[in-house]
Structure 1
Amino acid sequence: MKAKRQVSYQWRLREVMAAHGMFTISDLVGPLAERDIKLSVSQVHRLVTGTPERLSLPVLAALCDIFDIGPGDLIATRAENVEERRTGTGSAPGIVDMAVIRPKRARIRPGE
């Protein structure tokens, strides 16, 4: 049985901005617009302060061009094996042995 993998990522745009001397959201709006990425100040704010679940490739490419970096510098990824939870029955997860939990039929003997 294969071990399950859990993947996660860390969005590092704020760190990259600081390393390049950009400390406000408005510092990023102009360079994005120069690359034909039209985002409102509130959208750029969410991009910088949050961790996006979805990101368009043109925005990613523009950020890489602005800071002269690769995508791996903006997105730090991590993957690790996750142990499967053990069950009390000792069988594979999700499989229940009915013979273990089904009661046995009682026999009634006359005269005892």
Structure 2
Amino acid sequence: MVRRLSYHWHLRRIMAAHNIWKTTELIPLLRERGVNLSTAQVYRLVTDRPERLSLPVLAALCDILACSPGDLIEPYVEADRRKWTADEAAVIDLKPDFRPERARILED
């Protein structure tokens, strides 16, 4: 079994906690710290979950928002989504006749 890791990106939530509501408000704050990103890049950084992030950008965000990288990035293990083989399914006691009871509506 392969252990699949993923992460939650909390930049928007932390920005809101610091009363920064527009992505364009980050641009001058990043430039003050030597990070020059376009409006589109900053928008994608805030609204999407980044696949790659440079350490200077991460350090600048942490400085601007007075947080640590662990506050911005929350790793977690994804649920196993693969199909079971017949042998694996046999290990689990599956009851084919187990079904929820049908709801009945009673009129007054």
TM range (shorter): 0.7 to 0.9
User: CA–CA distance in 1 between the matches of 2:33 and 2:81?
Assistant: 45
Task: Select 1:29's aligned residue among 27, 32, 41.
Answer: 27
* Shift of residue 81, structure 1, vs aligned partner: 6.5
The TM-score normalised by the length of structure 1 is: 0.70
* Higher normalized strand content (fraction of residues): 1
Amino acid at match of 1:44: V
Aligned to 2:70: 72
State the distance in 2 between where 1:44 and 1:13 align: 11
Post-superposition offset of 1:85: 4.2
In the other structure, the counterpart of 2:106 is none
Deviation per CA, 1:29-50: give whole Å up to 9, x if none. Answer: 0110000000011110111111
Distance 1:83 1:13 in 2: 28
> Structure 1: which 5+ runs fail to align?
92-112
* Structure-2-length-normalised TM-score: 0.72
Q: Please identify the structure whose Cα radius of gyration is greater.
A: 1
Q: Does 1:20 align with 2:18?
A: yes
Aligned residue among 1, 9, 27 for 1:11: 9
Structure 2 CA distance for aligned equivalents of residues 76 and 18 of structure 1? 17
Residue pair 1:4, 1:84 contacting (<8 A) in 2 also: no
What residue is the counterpart of 2:93 in the other structure? Answer: none
Is residue 2:80 matched to residue 1:82? yes
Q: Is the CA contact 1:4–1:81 (under 8 Å) kept in the aligned structure 2?
A: no
* Alignment RMSD: 2.0
Higher mean C-alpha displacement, 78-87 vs 51-60: 78-87
Aligned-residue offset at 1:6: 2.1
Distance 2:79 2:39 in 1: 39
Q: Does the 8 Å CA contact 1:37/1:59 hold for their aligned counterparts?
A: yes
How far apart are the structure 1 equivalents of 2:84 and 2:39? Answer: 49
**Bigger share in helix:** 2
